Structure 1
Protein backbone atom coordinates (compact mmCIF):
# COMPACT_ATOMS: atom_id res chain seq x y z
CA UNK A 1 0.00 0.00 0.00
CA UNK A 2 2.79 2.44 0.82
CA UNK A 3 4.45 1.70 -2.54
CA UNK A 4 1.19 2.38 -4.37
CA UNK A 5 0.66 5.62 -2.45
CA UNK A 6 4.22 6.78 -3.27
CA UNK A 7 3.66 6.05 -6.97
CA UNK A 8 0.42 8.04 -6.97
CA UNK A 9 2.11 10.99 -5.26
CA UNK A 10 4.97 11.00 -7.82
CA UNK A 11 2.44 10.85 -10.66
CA UNK A 12 0.51 13.81 -9.30
CA UNK A 13 3.70 15.85 -8.87
CA UNK A 14 4.82 15.07 -12.43
CA UNK A 15 1.47 16.19 -13.82
CA UNK A 16 1.63 19.33 -11.72
CA UNK A 17 5.01 20.28 -13.24
CA UNK A 18 4.06 19.23 -16.80
CA UNK A 19 0.65 20.95 -17.08
CA UNK A 20 1.92 24.54 -16.79
CA UNK A 21 4.34 23.88 -19.62
CA UNK A 22 1.58 22.59 -21.86
CA UNK A 23 -0.72 25.41 -21.01
CA UNK A 24 1.94 28.11 -21.52
CA UNK A 25 2.94 26.86 -25.02
CA UNK A 26 2.08 29.31 -27.77
CA UNK A 27 2.33 28.95 -31.55
CA UNK A 28 5.26 30.82 -33.09
CA UNK A 29 4.44 32.87 -36.16
CA UNK A 30 6.99 34.19 -38.66
CA UNK A 31 6.56 37.91 -39.41
CA UNK A 32 5.64 38.79 -42.98
CA UNK A 33 8.77 40.95 -43.28
CA UNK A 34 11.03 37.92 -42.76
CA UNK A 35 9.23 35.92 -45.44
CA UNK A 36 10.48 38.32 -48.11
CA UNK A 37 14.10 38.43 -46.87
CA UNK A 38 16.75 36.88 -49.17
CA UNK A 39 19.76 35.10 -47.62
CA UNK A 40 23.23 35.39 -49.18
CA UNK A 41 24.96 32.00 -49.26
CA UNK A 42 27.75 30.25 -51.13
CA UNK A 43 26.32 28.19 -53.98
CA UNK A 44 29.56 27.09 -55.63
CA UNK A 45 33.27 27.00 -54.79
CA UNK A 46 36.54 25.93 -56.39
CA UNK A 47 39.13 23.63 -54.85
CA UNK A 48 42.08 25.13 -52.96
CA UNK A 49 44.77 26.57 -55.24
CA UNK A 50 47.56 24.64 -53.46
CA UNK A 51 47.81 21.18 -51.93
CA UNK A 52 49.66 22.42 -48.83
CA UNK A 53 50.08 25.69 -46.99
CA UNK A 54 48.12 28.86 -47.48
CA UNK A 55 46.08 29.07 -50.68
CA UNK A 56 42.87 30.57 -51.93
CA UNK A 57 39.56 29.48 -53.37
CA UNK A 58 36.89 31.34 -55.33
CA UNK A 59 33.32 31.20 -54.07
CA UNK A 60 30.15 32.18 -55.89
CA UNK A 61 27.90 34.08 -53.49
CA UNK A 62 24.22 34.50 -54.38
CA UNK A 63 21.10 35.84 -52.70
CA UNK A 64 18.52 33.08 -52.32
CA UNK A 65 14.91 34.21 -52.22
CA UNK A 66 12.22 32.36 -50.21
CA UNK A 67 11.07 30.92 -53.55
CA UNK A 68 14.53 29.40 -54.13
CA UNK A 69 15.65 31.81 -56.88
CA UNK A 70 19.24 33.08 -57.18
CA UNK A 71 20.01 36.74 -57.74
CA UNK A 72 22.86 39.28 -57.42
CA UNK A 73 25.56 36.60 -57.69
CA UNK A 74 29.17 37.68 -57.11
CA UNK A 75 32.58 35.99 -56.88
CA UNK A 76 34.56 36.15 -53.66
CA UNK A 77 38.16 35.06 -53.05
CA UNK A 78 38.90 33.56 -49.64
CA UNK A 79 41.86 31.83 -47.98
CA UNK A 80 42.01 28.05 -47.61
CA UNK A 81 44.29 25.51 -45.95
CA UNK A 82 44.41 21.82 -46.91
CA UNK A 83 47.59 20.67 -45.14
CA UNK A 84 50.32 22.68 -43.42
CA UNK A 85 53.20 20.24 -44.17
CA UNK A 86 54.70 20.72 -47.64
CA UNK A 87 57.67 18.34 -47.55
CA UNK A 88 61.17 18.75 -49.04
CA UNK A 89 62.25 20.43 -52.29
CA UNK A 90 65.73 19.76 -53.78
CA UNK A 91 67.88 22.27 -55.67
CA UNK A 92 71.39 22.07 -57.16
CA UNK A 93 73.05 25.47 -57.57
CA UNK A 94 76.50 26.28 -59.05
CA UNK A 95 78.84 28.45 -57.02
CA UNK A 96 78.41 32.15 -57.74
CA UNK A 97 74.96 31.89 -59.31
CA UNK A 98 72.20 34.04 -57.73
CA UNK A 99 69.42 31.95 -56.18
CA UNK A 100 66.42 32.57 -53.95
CA UNK A 101 63.82 30.52 -52.09
CA UNK A 102 60.40 31.66 -50.90
CA UNK A 103 57.90 30.34 -48.34
CA UNK A 104 54.98 31.64 -50.38
CA UNK A 105 53.73 30.27 -53.67
CA UNK A 106 53.41 32.54 -56.68
CA UNK A 107 49.61 32.82 -56.33
CA UNK A 108 49.86 33.96 -52.68
CA UNK A 109 52.29 36.86 -53.14
CA UNK A 110 49.53 39.42 -52.85
CA UNK A 111 48.55 38.59 -49.27
CA UNK A 112 49.17 40.91 -46.36
CA UNK A 113 52.74 40.23 -45.21
CA UNK A 114 52.03 41.65 -41.74
CA UNK A 115 49.37 39.01 -41.09
CA UNK A 116 51.99 36.24 -40.95
CA UNK A 117 55.26 35.47 -39.18
CA UNK A 118 58.11 33.69 -40.99
CA UNK A 119 60.56 31.64 -38.95
CA UNK A 120 63.63 30.16 -40.66
CA UNK A 121 65.92 27.40 -39.43
CA UNK A 122 69.00 25.85 -41.11
CA UNK A 123 70.68 22.43 -41.07
CA UNK A 124 73.98 23.52 -42.61
CA UNK A 125 75.65 21.10 -45.00
CA UNK A 126 72.89 18.47 -44.64
CA UNK A 127 69.88 17.45 -46.70
CA UNK A 128 67.43 16.33 -44.02
CA UNK A 129 63.99 16.80 -42.48
CA UNK A 130 65.08 15.83 -38.96
CA UNK A 131 64.02 18.87 -36.91
CA UNK A 132 66.60 18.10 -34.20
CA UNK A 133 69.43 19.06 -36.60
CA UNK A 134 68.11 22.56 -37.36
CA UNK A 135 69.38 25.77 -35.81
CA UNK A 136 67.80 29.25 -35.92
CA UNK A 137 68.51 31.28 -39.06
CA UNK A 138 67.85 35.02 -38.84
CA UNK A 139 65.63 36.15 -41.69
CA UNK A 140 62.30 37.89 -40.93
CA UNK A 141 61.18 37.94 -44.58
CA UNK A 142 59.44 35.18 -46.54
CA UNK A 143 62.30 35.09 -49.08
CA UNK A 144 65.98 34.16 -48.74
CA UNK A 145 68.25 35.53 -51.48
CA UNK A 146 71.65 33.95 -52.08
CA UNK A 147 73.61 36.35 -54.28
CA UNK A 148 76.11 35.02 -55.04
CA UNK A 149 75.72 31.44 -53.82
CA UNK A 150 78.64 30.08 -51.79
CA UNK A 151 79.57 26.55 -50.79
CA UNK A 152 78.84 27.43 -47.16
CA UNK A 153 75.20 28.13 -48.15
CA UNK A 154 74.58 24.42 -48.79
CA UNK A 155 72.14 22.67 -46.47
CA UNK A 156 68.44 22.44 -45.71
CA UNK A 157 66.40 25.56 -44.96
CA UNK A 158 63.12 25.15 -43.07
CA UNK A 159 60.44 27.83 -43.15
CA UNK A 160 57.46 28.00 -40.77
CA UNK A 161 54.60 30.37 -41.58
CA UNK A 162 52.45 31.37 -38.59
CA UNK A 163 49.38 33.53 -38.10
CA UNK A 164 50.30 36.79 -36.36
CA UNK A 165 47.19 36.77 -34.15
CA UNK A 166 47.04 33.13 -33.13
CA UNK A 167 50.65 31.92 -33.78
CA UNK A 168 49.13 28.92 -35.54
CA UNK A 169 51.51 27.24 -38.00
CA UNK A 170 49.84 27.16 -41.42
CA UNK A 171 52.82 26.04 -43.50
CA UNK A 172 56.14 24.21 -43.09
CA UNK A 173 58.42 23.63 -46.05
CA UNK A 174 62.02 22.37 -46.43
CA UNK A 175 64.49 23.52 -49.12
CA UNK A 176 67.45 21.21 -49.69
CA UNK A 177 70.24 23.10 -51.50
CA UNK A 178 73.39 21.49 -52.95
CA UNK A 179 76.13 23.88 -54.05
CA UNK A 180 78.66 22.58 -56.60
CA UNK A 181 81.67 23.97 -58.47
CA UNK A 182 81.08 25.14 -62.04
CA UNK A 183 83.85 22.92 -63.44
CA UNK A 184 82.82 19.88 -61.39
CA UNK A 185 79.87 18.81 -63.52
CA UNK A 186 77.85 20.17 -66.41
CA UNK A 187 74.20 20.52 -65.49
CA UNK A 188 73.18 20.09 -69.15
CA UNK A 189 72.11 16.44 -69.08
CA UNK A 190 72.04 15.96 -72.85
CA UNK A 191 75.43 17.58 -73.26
CA UNK A 192 77.02 15.36 -70.61
CA UNK A 193 75.92 12.11 -72.29
CA UNK A 194 78.58 9.96 -73.96
CA UNK A 195 78.27 8.87 -77.58
CA UNK A 196 77.10 5.39 -76.53
CA UNK A 197 74.47 6.86 -74.19
CA UNK A 198 73.16 9.16 -76.94
CA UNK A 199 72.93 6.24 -79.37
CA UNK A 200 71.15 4.12 -76.76
CA UNK A 201 68.71 6.94 -75.99
CA UNK A 202 68.01 7.55 -79.69
CA UNK A 203 67.55 3.84 -80.27
CA UNK A 204 65.09 3.62 -77.39
CA UNK A 205 63.06 6.52 -78.76
CA UNK A 206 63.31 5.14 -82.28
CA UNK A 207 62.15 1.71 -81.16
CA UNK A 208 59.07 3.19 -79.54
CA UNK A 209 58.20 5.21 -82.65
CA UNK A 210 59.05 2.56 -85.30
CA UNK A 211 57.81 -0.61 -83.62
CA UNK A 212 54.67 -0.65 -85.77
CA UNK A 213 56.68 0.01 -88.92
CA UNK A 214 59.09 -2.83 -88.12
CA UNK A 215 56.26 -5.27 -87.50
CA UNK A 216 54.66 -4.30 -90.82
CA UNK A 217 57.93 -4.81 -92.67
CA UNK A 218 58.43 -8.19 -91.01
CA UNK A 219 54.97 -9.29 -92.11
CA UNK A 220 55.60 -8.10 -95.67
CA UNK A 221 58.94 -9.92 -95.77
CA UNK A 222 57.29 -13.10 -94.50
CA UNK A 223 54.64 -13.11 -97.21
CA UNK A 224 57.11 -12.09 -99.92
CA UNK A 225 59.48 -14.92 -98.95
CA UNK A 226 56.55 -17.32 -98.86
CA UNK A 227 55.40 -16.29 -102.33
CA UNK A 228 58.93 -16.55 -103.69
CA UNK A 229 59.67 -19.89 -102.06
CA UNK A 230 56.56 -21.65 -103.37
CA UNK A 231 57.66 -21.52 -107.07
CA UNK A 232 61.22 -22.43 -106.08
CA UNK A 233 59.96 -25.42 -104.15
CA UNK A 234 57.89 -26.54 -107.16
CA UNK A 235 60.83 -26.22 -109.58
CA UNK A 236 63.14 -28.01 -107.16
CA UNK A 237 60.69 -30.84 -106.73
CA UNK A 238 60.37 -31.23 -110.52
CA UNK A 239 64.13 -31.32 -111.04
CA UNK A 240 64.61 -33.90 -108.30
CA UNK A 241 61.78 -36.03 -109.73
CA UNK A 242 63.29 -35.88 -113.22
CA UNK A 243 66.70 -36.93 -111.95
CA UNK A 244 65.22 -39.88 -110.09
CA UNK A 245 63.28 -40.97 -113.19
CA UNK A 246 66.44 -40.73 -115.32
CA UNK A 247 68.42 -42.84 -112.83
CA UNK A 248 65.66 -45.47 -112.80
CA UNK A 249 65.56 -45.65 -116.62
CA UNK A 250 69.33 -46.01 -116.82
CA UNK A 251 69.23 -48.81 -114.28
CA UNK A 252 66.48 -50.63 -116.19
CA UNK A 253 68.37 -50.22 -119.46
CA UNK A 254 71.49 -51.80 -117.98
CA UNK A 255 69.45 -54.73 -116.73
CA UNK A 256 67.81 -55.20 -120.14
CA UNK A 257 71.20 -55.14 -121.95
CA UNK A 258 72.71 -57.65 -119.55
CA UNK A 259 69.80 -60.03 -120.10
CA UNK A 260 70.10 -59.69 -123.87
CA UNK A 261 73.83 -60.45 -123.83
CA UNK A 262 73.30 -63.64 -121.84
CA UNK A 263 70.84 -64.96 -124.43
Structure 2
Protein backbone atom coordinates (compact mmCIF):
# COMPACT_ATOMS: atom_id res chain seq x y z
CA UNK A 1 0.00 0.00 0.00
CA UNK A 2 2.82 2.45 0.88
CA UNK A 3 4.56 1.60 -2.36
CA UNK A 4 1.38 2.42 -4.34
CA UNK A 5 0.92 5.77 -2.59
CA UNK A 6 4.55 6.68 -3.17
CA UNK A 7 4.22 5.86 -6.86
CA UNK A 8 1.14 8.10 -7.20
CA UNK A 9 2.87 11.04 -5.51
CA UNK A 10 5.97 10.67 -7.65
CA UNK A 11 3.80 10.54 -10.75
CA UNK A 12 1.82 13.69 -9.90
CA UNK A 13 4.69 15.95 -8.81
CA UNK A 14 6.31 16.26 -12.28
CA UNK A 15 2.94 17.28 -13.75
CA UNK A 16 2.47 19.99 -11.11
CA UNK A 17 5.88 21.50 -11.63
CA UNK A 18 5.46 21.55 -15.40
CA UNK A 19 2.14 23.66 -15.25
CA UNK A 20 2.60 27.21 -16.57
CA UNK A 21 2.44 29.96 -13.97
CA UNK A 22 -0.51 32.38 -14.40
CA UNK A 23 0.01 35.89 -13.09
CA UNK A 24 -2.91 37.17 -10.97
CA UNK A 25 -2.79 40.59 -12.63
CA UNK A 26 -1.79 41.44 -16.17
CA UNK A 27 -1.52 44.86 -17.81
CA UNK A 28 -4.32 45.37 -20.35
CA UNK A 29 -3.43 47.61 -23.24
CA UNK A 30 -6.29 49.68 -24.70
CA UNK A 31 -5.87 50.33 -28.42
CA UNK A 32 -5.38 53.93 -29.39
CA UNK A 33 -8.45 53.80 -31.66
CA UNK A 34 -10.76 53.10 -28.68
CA UNK A 35 -9.43 56.09 -26.77
CA UNK A 36 -11.01 58.42 -29.33
CA UNK A 37 -14.38 56.64 -29.58
CA UNK A 38 -17.43 58.81 -28.74
CA UNK A 39 -20.51 56.98 -27.39
CA UNK A 40 -24.09 58.30 -27.58
CA UNK A 41 -25.88 57.34 -24.38
CA UNK A 42 -29.02 58.51 -22.47
CA UNK A 43 -28.03 60.92 -19.73
CA UNK A 44 -31.48 62.01 -18.51
CA UNK A 45 -35.13 60.93 -18.81
CA UNK A 46 -38.58 62.04 -17.64
CA UNK A 47 -40.94 59.81 -15.70
CA UNK A 48 -43.56 57.76 -17.58
CA UNK A 49 -46.53 59.82 -18.78
CA UNK A 50 -49.05 57.41 -17.20
CA UNK A 51 -49.17 55.55 -13.91
CA UNK A 52 -50.32 52.30 -15.55
CA UNK A 53 -50.32 50.79 -19.00
CA UNK A 54 -48.58 52.06 -22.09
CA UNK A 55 -47.16 55.59 -21.94
CA UNK A 56 -44.14 57.50 -23.13
CA UNK A 57 -41.09 59.21 -21.70
CA UNK A 58 -38.64 61.74 -23.11
CA UNK A 59 -34.94 60.84 -22.99
CA UNK A 60 -31.95 63.10 -23.51
CA UNK A 61 -29.20 61.48 -25.59
CA UNK A 62 -25.71 62.94 -25.62
CA UNK A 63 -22.36 62.06 -27.15
CA UNK A 64 -19.96 61.38 -24.31
CA UNK A 65 -16.22 61.63 -24.99
CA UNK A 66 -13.58 59.57 -23.13
CA UNK A 67 -12.90 62.69 -21.06
CA UNK A 68 -16.56 62.75 -19.91
CA UNK A 69 -17.60 65.74 -22.03
CA UNK A 70 -21.23 65.85 -23.28
CA UNK A 71 -22.01 67.24 -26.72
CA UNK A 72 -24.61 67.11 -29.53
CA UNK A 73 -27.49 66.33 -27.16
CA UNK A 74 -30.88 65.40 -28.63
CA UNK A 75 -34.31 64.42 -27.28
CA UNK A 76 -35.99 61.11 -28.03
CA UNK A 77 -39.49 59.86 -27.17
CA UNK A 78 -39.81 56.19 -26.25
CA UNK A 79 -42.53 53.91 -24.90
CA UNK A 80 -42.68 52.99 -21.21
CA UNK A 81 -44.78 50.90 -18.81
CA UNK A 82 -44.86 51.82 -15.11
CA UNK A 83 -47.53 49.30 -14.05
CA UNK A 84 -49.60 47.02 -16.31
CA UNK A 85 -52.70 46.77 -14.03
CA UNK A 86 -54.99 49.80 -14.37
CA UNK A 87 -57.98 48.79 -12.22
CA UNK A 88 -61.70 49.43 -12.78
CA UNK A 89 -63.45 52.48 -14.25
CA UNK A 90 -67.22 53.07 -13.80
CA UNK A 91 -69.60 54.56 -16.36
CA UNK A 92 -73.38 55.22 -16.27
CA UNK A 93 -74.83 55.55 -19.77
CA UNK A 94 -78.45 56.37 -20.74
CA UNK A 95 -79.89 53.83 -23.13
CA UNK A 96 -80.11 54.95 -26.73
CA UNK A 97 -77.03 57.20 -26.60
CA UNK A 98 -73.70 56.43 -28.34
CA UNK A 99 -70.81 55.45 -26.06
CA UNK A 100 -67.27 54.17 -26.53
CA UNK A 101 -64.44 52.78 -24.39
CA UNK A 102 -60.77 52.67 -25.36
CA UNK A 103 -57.77 50.65 -24.20
CA UNK A 104 -55.40 53.43 -25.21
CA UNK A 105 -55.16 56.53 -23.08
CA UNK A 106 -54.96 60.04 -24.50
CA UNK A 107 -51.19 60.05 -23.85
CA UNK A 108 -50.66 56.95 -26.00
CA UNK A 109 -52.73 57.89 -29.05
CA UNK A 110 -49.60 58.36 -31.15
CA UNK A 111 -48.25 54.82 -30.73
CA UNK A 112 -48.30 52.25 -33.51
CA UNK A 113 -51.47 50.29 -32.79
CA UNK A 114 -50.35 47.49 -35.15
CA UNK A 115 -47.48 46.66 -32.79
CA UNK A 116 -49.92 45.53 -30.09
CA UNK A 117 -52.66 42.90 -29.71
CA UNK A 118 -55.95 43.86 -28.05
CA UNK A 119 -58.01 41.14 -26.38
CA UNK A 120 -61.47 41.94 -25.02
CA UNK A 121 -63.55 39.92 -22.56
CA UNK A 122 -67.00 40.65 -21.08
CA UNK A 123 -68.80 39.83 -17.84
CA UNK A 124 -72.41 40.55 -18.96
CA UNK A 125 -74.67 42.31 -16.48
CA UNK A 126 -72.04 42.41 -13.71
CA UNK A 127 -69.63 45.01 -12.33
CA UNK A 128 -66.69 42.84 -11.27
CA UNK A 129 -62.96 42.21 -11.56
CA UNK A 130 -63.26 38.44 -11.01
CA UNK A 131 -61.51 37.08 -14.10
CA UNK A 132 -63.38 33.76 -13.81
CA UNK A 133 -66.66 35.48 -14.77
CA UNK A 134 -65.48 36.88 -18.10
CA UNK A 135 -66.28 35.48 -21.53
CA UNK A 136 -64.52 36.24 -24.84
CA UNK A 137 -65.78 39.34 -26.61
CA UNK A 138 -65.27 39.44 -30.38
CA UNK A 139 -63.17 42.54 -31.02
CA UNK A 140 -59.52 43.08 -31.93
CA UNK A 141 -59.66 46.88 -32.02
CA UNK A 142 -58.42 49.17 -29.22
CA UNK A 143 -61.84 50.90 -29.13
CA UNK A 144 -65.34 49.47 -28.60
CA UNK A 145 -68.22 51.65 -29.82
CA UNK A 146 -71.78 51.14 -28.57
CA UNK A 147 -74.14 53.04 -30.84
CA UNK A 148 -76.80 53.14 -29.65
CA UNK A 149 -76.27 51.76 -26.16
CA UNK A 150 -78.76 49.09 -25.12
CA UNK A 151 -79.55 47.56 -21.74
CA UNK A 152 -78.03 44.27 -22.92
CA UNK A 153 -74.67 46.08 -23.27
CA UNK A 154 -74.37 46.52 -19.48
CA UNK A 155 -71.53 44.69 -17.76
CA UNK A 156 -67.77 44.84 -17.26
CA UNK A 157 -65.44 44.95 -20.26
CA UNK A 158 -61.83 43.84 -19.77
CA UNK A 159 -59.08 44.78 -22.21
CA UNK A 160 -55.61 43.23 -22.32
CA UNK A 161 -52.90 44.91 -24.39
CA UNK A 162 -50.00 42.68 -25.47
CA UNK A 163 -46.81 43.34 -27.42
CA UNK A 164 -47.24 41.59 -30.78
CA UNK A 165 -43.65 40.29 -30.91
CA UNK A 166 -43.33 38.93 -27.36
CA UNK A 167 -47.04 38.56 -26.31
CA UNK A 168 -46.12 40.29 -23.05
CA UNK A 169 -49.13 41.90 -21.33
CA UNK A 170 -48.41 45.59 -20.79
CA UNK A 171 -51.89 46.76 -19.78
CA UNK A 172 -55.10 45.37 -18.28
CA UNK A 173 -58.07 47.63 -17.63
CA UNK A 174 -61.70 47.03 -16.62
CA UNK A 175 -64.68 49.17 -17.72
CA UNK A 176 -67.86 48.82 -15.63
CA UNK A 177 -70.80 50.02 -17.75
CA UNK A 178 -74.28 50.62 -16.26
CA UNK A 179 -77.06 51.31 -18.76
CA UNK A 180 -79.96 53.40 -17.41
CA UNK A 181 -83.32 53.91 -19.08
CA UNK A 182 -83.53 57.50 -20.35
CA UNK A 183 -87.13 58.01 -19.21
CA UNK A 184 -86.39 57.04 -15.60
CA UNK A 185 -83.61 59.45 -14.66
CA UNK A 186 -82.08 62.67 -15.90
CA UNK A 187 -78.29 62.56 -15.59
CA UNK A 188 -77.96 66.31 -16.14
CA UNK A 189 -76.98 67.16 -12.57
CA UNK A 190 -76.18 70.81 -13.28
CA UNK A 191 -79.66 71.44 -14.66
CA UNK A 192 -81.22 71.00 -11.20
CA UNK A 193 -78.77 73.23 -9.31
CA UNK A 194 -79.78 76.64 -7.97
CA UNK A 195 -77.70 79.73 -8.66
CA UNK A 196 -76.02 79.55 -5.24
CA UNK A 197 -75.19 75.86 -5.74
CA UNK A 198 -73.74 76.52 -9.19
CA UNK A 199 -71.53 79.31 -7.82
CA UNK A 200 -70.36 77.11 -4.93
CA UNK A 201 -69.72 74.19 -7.29
CA UNK A 202 -67.82 76.46 -9.64
CA UNK A 203 -65.55 77.69 -6.83
CA UNK A 204 -64.88 74.16 -5.52
CA UNK A 205 -64.16 72.64 -8.92
CA UNK A 206 -62.02 75.54 -10.09
CA UNK A 207 -64.17 76.53 -13.02
CA UNK A 208 -65.34 73.06 -14.07
CA UNK A 209 -69.01 74.01 -13.76
CA UNK A 210 -69.27 77.46 -15.35
CA UNK A 211 -72.29 79.62 -14.63
CA UNK A 212 -73.10 81.60 -17.74
CA UNK A 213 -74.03 85.26 -17.70
CA UNK A 214 -77.44 84.44 -19.20
CA UNK A 215 -78.27 82.07 -16.35
CA UNK A 216 -77.33 84.69 -13.77
CA UNK A 217 -79.46 87.31 -15.51
CA UNK A 218 -82.42 84.93 -15.62
CA UNK A 219 -82.09 84.15 -11.92
CA UNK A 220 -81.69 87.83 -11.02
CA UNK A 221 -84.66 88.92 -13.13
CA UNK A 222 -86.79 86.20 -11.54
CA UNK A 223 -85.99 87.29 -7.99
CA UNK A 224 -86.34 90.99 -8.89
CA UNK A 225 -89.79 90.43 -10.42
CA UNK A 226 -90.77 88.41 -7.38
CA UNK A 227 -89.63 91.14 -4.97
CA UNK A 228 -91.39 93.84 -6.98
CA UNK A 229 -94.62 91.92 -7.18
CA UNK A 230 -94.75 91.06 -3.46
CA UNK A 231 -95.76 94.63 -2.27
CA UNK A 232 -98.53 94.87 -4.86
CA UNK A 233 -99.83 91.48 -3.82
CA UNK A 234 -99.93 92.62 -0.19
CA UNK A 235 -101.64 95.89 -1.10
CA UNK A 236 -104.29 94.08 -3.17
CA UNK A 237 -104.90 91.63 -0.34
CA UNK A 238 -105.30 94.50 2.13
CA UNK A 239 -107.82 96.33 -0.08
CA UNK A 240 -109.81 93.17 -0.63
CA UNK A 241 -109.83 92.44 3.09
CA UNK A 242 -111.06 95.97 3.83
CA UNK A 243 -113.91 95.68 1.35
CA UNK A 244 -114.99 92.34 2.80
CA UNK A 245 -114.86 93.75 6.32
CA UNK A 246 -117.00 96.76 5.29
CA UNK A 247 -119.60 94.47 3.73
CA UNK A 248 -119.76 92.32 6.84
CA UNK A 249 -120.14 95.36 9.10
CA UNK A 250 -122.85 96.76 6.84
CA UNK A 251 -124.84 93.52 6.97
CA UNK A 252 -124.47 93.24 10.75
CA UNK A 253 -125.58 96.84 11.27
CA UNK A 254 -128.59 96.36 8.97
CA UNK A 255 -129.67 93.23 10.84
CA UNK A 256 -129.31 95.02 14.19
CA UNK A 257 -131.54 97.90 13.03
CA UNK A 258 -134.20 95.49 11.78
CA UNK A 259 -134.33 93.70 15.13
CA UNK A 260 -134.59 97.03 16.97
CA UNK A 261 -137.50 98.19 14.77
CA UNK A 262 -139.46 95.00 15.37
CA UNK A 263 -139.23 95.41 19.12
Pairwise TM-score range, normalised by the shorter structure:
0.5 to 0.7
Contact 1:162 1:170 survives alignment (8 Å): yes
1:223-242 correspondence to structure 2 within 5 Å: none
Matched, 1:158 2:158: yes
The equivalent residue for 1:38 is 38
Name the CA distance, whole Å, in 1 between partners of 2:127 and 2:26. Answer: 71
Name the CA distance, whole Å, in 1 between partners of 2:70 and 2:169. Answer: 38
Larger Rg: 1
- Cα displacement string for residues 25-59 of structure 1 (whole angstroms, at most 9, x for unaligned residues): 86331122211111111110000111111111110
Name the CA distance, whole Å, in 1 between partners of 2:77 and 2:31. Answer: 35
The equivalent residue for 1:173 is 173
Number of residue pairs aligned between Structure 1 and Structure 2: 198
Q: Could you tell which deviates more after superposition, 87-96 or 27-36?
A: 27-36
Matched, 1:104 2:134: no
- Cα displacement string for residues 211-257 of structure 1 (whole angstroms, at most 9, x for unaligned residues): xxxxxxxxxxxxxxxxxxxxxxxxxxxxxxxxxxxxxxxxxxxxxxx
Name the CA distance, whole Å, in 1 between partners of 2:13 and 2:53. Answer: 62
Name the CA distance, whole Å, in 2 between partners of 1:122 and 1:100. Answer: 15
CA RMSD of aligned residues (A): 3.1
Shift of 1:15: 4.8
The equivalent residue for 2:116 is 116
Name the CA distance, whole Å, in 2 between partners of 1:161 and 1:59. Answer: 24
CA distance 1:162–1:17, shift in 2 (3 Å): same
The equivalent residue for 1:140 is 140
CA distance 1:5–1:192, shift in 2 (3 Å): farther
The 3-state SS of whatever aligns with 1:162 is strand
Q: Which sections of structure 2, spanning at least 5 residues, go unmatched?
A: 205-263
After TM superposition, the score normalised by the length of structure 2 is 0.66
